[in-house]
Amino acid sequence: MENLPGISRAMTKRGLQPWKPAVTLQPRTYQDILHGTNLIANAIRPTLGPLPRLVVLERLKRTEAPEFLDDGATIARRIIQVEPRGSDIGAMLIRHALWQMHQEAGDGATTMAVLYQAILREGIRYVTQFDCNAMLLRAGLEKGLSAVLDCLRREAGPLTGKLNIEKIAGGMCQGDLEMAKMMGEIFDMVGPDGMIVVEGWNKLGLEREYIEGTYWKLSGWLSRLFVTDKADKRAVFDGAALLISDMDIKDPHQLVPVLERCVKAGIKKLVIIARSMSDAVIGLLVNNNQAKTIETLAVRTPKGMEIGRVTSIEDLAVLTGGRIFYAAAYTSFDAFQVTDLGHARRAWATESLFGVYGGKGDPRQIRKHIAAVRGMLSSAEGEHDKGELQARLGRLHGGTVILRVGAIHETEREARKAIAERAVTGIRHALLGGVVPGGGSALIHAQAAVMGLPVEHDDDAMAYKILARALEEPMRAIARNAGYVPDVIVEKVKAAPDGCGFDAITGRIVEMRQTGILDALIVLEKALQIAVSGAAMALTTDVIVHHRKPVESLEP
C-alpha cells in the first residue's frame, strides 16, 4: 500500500521516519540475503580447522566474563538479529541451517556454513552476470550433490583400533593430546554406542570413571535406612531380584503377597522399584531387613518426562528379564508371580542414582530392543530426543563412562567441556558410519565426480562449476586460519594422489589416513545436504516481504 501524503507529513513533523516499502524485489533481494549470509558465515569461519581462532561474545550481564566459543552453531545461536533489516533474512536462513546441522549431526556446522556461503555467492554471481535460471541451477546442484555423496561413500572406510581413534580424536580435540588419548581409551572400552557423560569439575586436568553396567539419574533409594555402605552412602545388593513398577505404594498390605511368595521361593535380596512409598511401607521393609526375613531395597522410578519414565523401566525390564507392573493397569500386586521378577548380578543405589550390573535378561530380546531403539534414533528429530535415545542405547549396551573436564577458569573449563562433547559426537559418528580423508581433501578429490557428470543444458554446467568451486572452500578456510595461502594449498592437494591432503599443523601434504586426519562420513554427508538445500532455497528466493513495524499514534 502506498503511503498517504497526509500521514507521511504528520510522521515527519513528529520526527518519525515515514513508512518504507515492506516488499523487497530483485536485485536488492539477492544483495540483502548475501550480505546477511556473509555476516554469519564470516563470523564463524575462523573456527574451522585444527588451528582455530576463537570468537568472543559479550554477555548480557557486563559483570560476567565474556564467552569464548569455537563452535559455529553455538556462535550463530547467540546472534538473534543483524542490521539492516533486509540482511537479517539472509542471516536467519543460514543461522537456521547451522542449528539444523548441530541438531542432526552434532558437529560439522562450520564446514556446512562455508559450503553454504560459497554455493550461494557463486550461484548469485552466475544468475546476475550470466542470466542463468535459478531453478535450473538448483536442479543441477542436486544432481551434483548426489554424485559427490556417491564418491564419498565409495572412498569411506571403517575406523577401528585404539590408536586410530586417538589419531582422529587429536584433530577433533584441537591438539589436546591428553584428551585425544583418553578418547581412544574410552571408545575402545565402551564402543560406539556406549554411554559417555561429559562433566565439568573444579580440578585441573581430565579424569574418567568407568561404571560397570548401567545407571539412571534422578532415581536412588527412597530412604537412608536402606543404605548398606555407610561410608559411601550406598546400598549394594549382589545377586538381586527386581520387582519393577511405577506404582505409588501406600499400604503395606500391597506388598505382602510379593514378600510371602519371594520368601517361599528362597529369594534373599529384593529390589522394589516404585514411584513412591509411604512411611508405613518403608517401615515394613526395614523391619524385614532387621529380622533378616528378606533383605529389601526400595528405589524410586526414574523421574522426568512421562515418556522418559516409561522407557526407563522398559529398558530395565528387558535388561533384567522382569515384568513391569504399570500403575495404569494394576492397583495391587495380587497377580504377582516369582517368575515376574527381573534378576541382576548386582544392583546399587545412592541418594540420586540407581544402577544394575550383569542383567540376566534374554539376549535375543535385548538385541531386538537395541535394534528398535537404534531405529528410533535414526529417525529422531531434535537434539534432546536424540540425546535421550543415545543415552538409552548406551545403557542397553551396559557400559558407562564419566569424563570429567577441569581447568583453572570457568570460561576455559566450559570451552574445554564443549570440545570434549563435540569430540564424543564426532568419534561416535566416525565409528558408526566410517571415515574419509579429512581437512577438506575428500571434497577436493570429489570435484572430478561432479565435473564428469553429463550436461543436459548450460545451466547444468554452471551448477556443476558452482558446486565444484564450493567443495574447495573448507580447505581454503582451514589453510587461511593456519596462516597459509589458500590458493597455493588447494593446487598442491589437487596435484597430489587421492587420499592425500593438507596437514594444517605441520604445513605439509600428507597421506591423510596414515596421519589420522579423517572426517566422519555421516557428518560430511549431512553438511553437504544441508548446505546445498539451504543455499538453493536462498538462491531461488526473489521477494522479501517484511512485517510492518507498529506505528505510533499520530494523535497529538
Q: Domain 216-361 is of which CATH architecture?
A: 3-Layer(bba) Sandwich (3.50)
Report field, pTM of the whole predicted structure over 0.85: no
Which pLDDT belongs to residue 438? 92
C-alpha cell of 87? Answer: 540482511
Which pLDDT belongs to residue 307? 44
Which pLDDT belongs to residue 11? 44
Q: What DSSP state is assigned to residue 494?
A: H
For 328-368, what is each residue's pLDDT tens digit?
Answer: 888 889 899 999 999 999 999 999 889 898 899 999 998 89
Q: What is the pLDDT along the chain (556 residues), one digit of tens a residue?
A: 344 444 445 445 555 455 455 788 898 999 999 999 999 999 999 999 888 888 888 877 777 778 888 888 889 888 888 988 889 999 999 999 999 998 888 789 999 999 999 999 999 999 999 889 999 999 999 999 999 999 999 999 999 888 889 888 887 887 788 999 999 999 988 888 888 889 888 888 899 988 878 888 878 999 999 999 888 889 999 999 999 999 999 999 999 999 999 999 999 999 999 999 999 999 999 998 998 889 999 999 876 444 444 577 888 999 999 999 998 888 889 899 999 999 999 999 999 889 898 899 999 998 898 888 888 887 777 667 777 788 888 888 777 888 999 988 887 888 889 889 888 988 998 998 999 999 999 999 999 999 999 999 999 999 999 999 999 999 999 999 999 999 999 999 999 998 899 999 899 999 998 888 999 999 999 999 999 999 999 999 999 888 766 554 444 4
CATH 1.10.560.10 corresponds to the domain 22-157+438-545: yes
3-state secondary structure of 146: helix
With cell 533474512, the residue in question is 89
Q: Which amino acid is at 39?
A: L
d(CA 134, CA 29): 13
CATH 3.30.260.10 occupies which residues in the chain?
173-212+398-433
CATH 1.10.560.10 occupies which residues in the chain?
22-157+438-545
Count the neighbouring beta carbons within 10 Å of the beta carbon of residue 349.
29
Q: Phi and psi of 497, rounded to 5°?
A: -65, 160
| 142, 555 Cβ separation under 8 angstroms | no
Query: Which residues, in sequence order, are bridge partners of residue 512?
Result: none
d(CA 320, CA 129): 67
Please name which of 53, 119, 42, 39 lies closest in space to residue 82, comparing C-alpha atoms.
39
Following DSSP, what letter does each residue of 205-257 receive, concatenated?
A: EEEEEEEESEEEES--BS-GGG-SBTTTTBEEEEEEEEEEE--EE--GGGTHH
For 295-328, what is each residue's pLDDT tens digit?
Answer: 999 999 876 444 444 577 888 999 999 999 998 8
Tell me the torsion sign for CA atoms 134, 472, 172, 428.
Answer: positive
Count the neighbouring beta carbons within 10 Å of the beta carbon of residue 185.
16
C-alpha cell of 411? Answer: 570460561
Q: What DSSP state is assigned to residue 47?
A: G
Q: Phi and psi of 9, rounded to 5°?
A: -65, -35
d(CA 415, CA 173): 11
Between 3.40.50.10190, 3.30.1330.90, 3.30.1490.20, 3.30.260.10, what CATH number should domain 173-212+398-433 receive?
3.30.260.10
With cell 548441530, the residue in question is 102
CATH 3.50.7.10 occupies which residues in the chain?
216-361
Which pLDDT belongs to residue 407? 87
